[in-house]
Structure 1
Amino acid sequence: MHMRAFLSAPALLLALAPCMALGQTAQPSPAPSSSPVGAPAEHAPTTEADSAAGHATSVQVTAPMSAQISASMSGQLEKFPFRDGDHFHKGDVLAEFRCGQQKATLAHARAEYIKRRGLLDVQNKMKALGQWSVSDLQSAAADERAANADLEMATAVVAQCTVEAPFDGRVSNTMVHNYQYLSPGTPMLEILDDTSLELSMIVPSMELRNLAPGTPFRIHILETDATYPATITRISGKVDPVSKTIKVYGRLVRPAPDLLPGMTGEAQFGK
């Protein structure tokens, strides 16, 4: 019995030997390196000169001045000459209300002031002749001041009847029509200054080391498929800490009549 167990041990080892050899040969060999022979193990660091060689960012054409003109009084529009896209000059009448009653009130206030002013002159002449009374002179002076205040108020009301252009520019939108009755604060039209367009960009804050007022760059506008030279005019005073970006503004080197506010493109910095 013991001899049979002793003799079965070598037989068991002989039976397991092929399996052990197979397990040793089945171990995976290390994968060959995908790097070409002679290639450096790490990439060379990018220098500041390489990063400044060229950087592109989105750019938008904007108007330096724009405004929404609203009705300053209640009344019916009597003159609304400009339409969307029309050009105008500073001082042109953009809108005029029908103000017959307000103008009549102004005429009455002007006449009342002339009368009160004449009575005050009479009291001053009587004072020069020694035939005057302190109460009459003071009353005439107070009446003259009150009439002058009424005249100024009536003048201010009539001034609201006409809306003049605050600058040279162009109409970008109209919201009302001629002969329409409006209430105070009703938006009438939107205007913008297209005589000197501005360029607005948002660039990474790390690019500030390469940007300053006067830095030249070029823009390619999608709508016109043309490239224009430009320069930086100013840089925002605050960096967005979340996106790590900052607003940068520029202007065209030469006027470009084919550009309109709202057009977009790409700004190219560096060489």
Structure 2
Amino acid sequence: MCLIFCLWGGAANAQETAPLEAATHAYKPYPVIFEAIHRAVLSAERAGVLKNLKYDTGSHLKKGAVIAQVDAGELALMKKRNTVALTHLEKQVGELISLNKRGLATNEELAKSRMNRDVTRTDIDIIKRQISTSSVRAPFGCVVVRRHIQPHEWVTAGQPVVEVVSLDKIRAVANIPAHIAVKLKKGDLHTFYVNDLDAEVSGTVMAVAPEVDERSNTAEVIWTVEKKKQDLLPGMKGEVRLDE
């Protein structure tokens, strides 16, 4: 009789602990925001009148494409003037070398001519550098999401011209309670629900911020998202379910 009672009691205890074990594996949703991994605000590197700004919001660009140019007409003229001067100085140095060998020109005259030639060469290099910084180029394959200025307007050095993003690589970012975040490992696979698309996407943990916010007691977690859906855009919101 005791044996039957003990067996019955053990079965009852097993039934009671089953829900507790299931509860320990409860999943809770946390809000996430999807962001572009590559994003940039492109600015003018030098002051001047902006020209050739033919791209606007929604324009797709290849890496290295010229988005806009600051007028460099004056610099081009300076380069031309210095190039002419350099040709003359090169000839002058050659003549002085010949005269110096015959004792008809001093070493000081030759050295001064060489210095003027080298300074002019340096001036040309500086002008070339300034001309190269007159162009605003796409740093990667991207889409223009915002244009901050209109063609033919005056820009100052450092003034934003356009904002671009790459849609090729998307990441998900969320603030996760610290006691859960510390358990996440790089490469862990999770599923995200995208509210705006009513669809699911997968992603792997890329990084867990090594700092916990004092007020919310959360840590930032970043996932690399497998972008199978072309409609997934930066700024969309969703949620990720994590084991409590």
Partner of 1:182: 155
- Structure with a larger share of its residues in strand: 2
* Distance verdict in 2 for CA 1:119–1:53, change over 3 Å: farther
Gap change, CA 1:242 and 1:52, over 3 Å in 2: farther
Contact 1:233 1:251 in 2 (8 A): yes
| Structure 2 alignment gaps of length 5 or more | 1-15
- Change in 2 beyond 3 A, CA 1:104/1:209: closer
Q: Secondary structure at the match of 1:83?
A: coil
Aligned to 2:212: 239
Contact 2:176 2:220 in 1 (8 A): yes
Task: Give the aligned partner of residue 66 of structure 1.
Answer: 39
User: Equivalences for 1:89-168 in 2 at 5 Å?
Assistant: 89-126=62-99, 133-168=106-141
Q: Which amino acid aligns with 2:150?
A: H
Q: TM-score, normalised by structure 2?
A: 0.82
Name the counterpart of 1:192.
165
Distance 2:25 2:99 in 1: 86
| Residues in 2 aligned to 1:260 and 1:98: alpha-carbon distance in whole angstroms | 35
Structure-2 change in CA distance of 1:47 and 1:234 (3 Å): farther
Partners of 2:80 and 2:26 in 1: CA distance: 71
Q: CA deviation at 1:132?
A: 5.0
User: Which runs of no fewer than 5 residues in structure 1 stay unpaired?
Assistant: 1-42
Taking structure 1 as reference, are residues 127 and 238 closer, same or farther at Cα in structure 2, changes over 3 Å only? farther
The answer as to whether partners of 1:230 and 1:251 remain within 8 angstroms in 2 is: yes
Tell me the matched-pair count: 229
SS of residue in 2 equivalent to 1:210: coil
What's the TM-score once normalised by structure 1's chain length?
A: 0.75
Cα root mean square deviation, aligned: 2.7
Partner of 1:188, secondary structure, is strand
Q: Structure 2 CA distance, aligned partners of 1:234 and 1:118? A: 62
| Residues in 2 aligned to 1:113 and 1:52: alpha-carbon distance in whole angstroms | 78
Q: Is the 8 A contact 2:181 2:208 kept in 1?
A: no
Separation in structure 2 between the aligned mates of residue 209 and residue 159 of structure 1, nearest angstrom: 47
Maintained 8 Å contact 2:52/2:69 = yes
Secondary structure of the residue aligned to 2:45 is coil
**1:58/1:266 contact within 8 Å kept:** yes
In the alignment, the residues of structure 2 paired with residue 57 and residue 129 of structure 1 have an alpha-carbon distance, to the nearest angstrom, of: 87
Q: Rg: which structure is higher?
A: 1
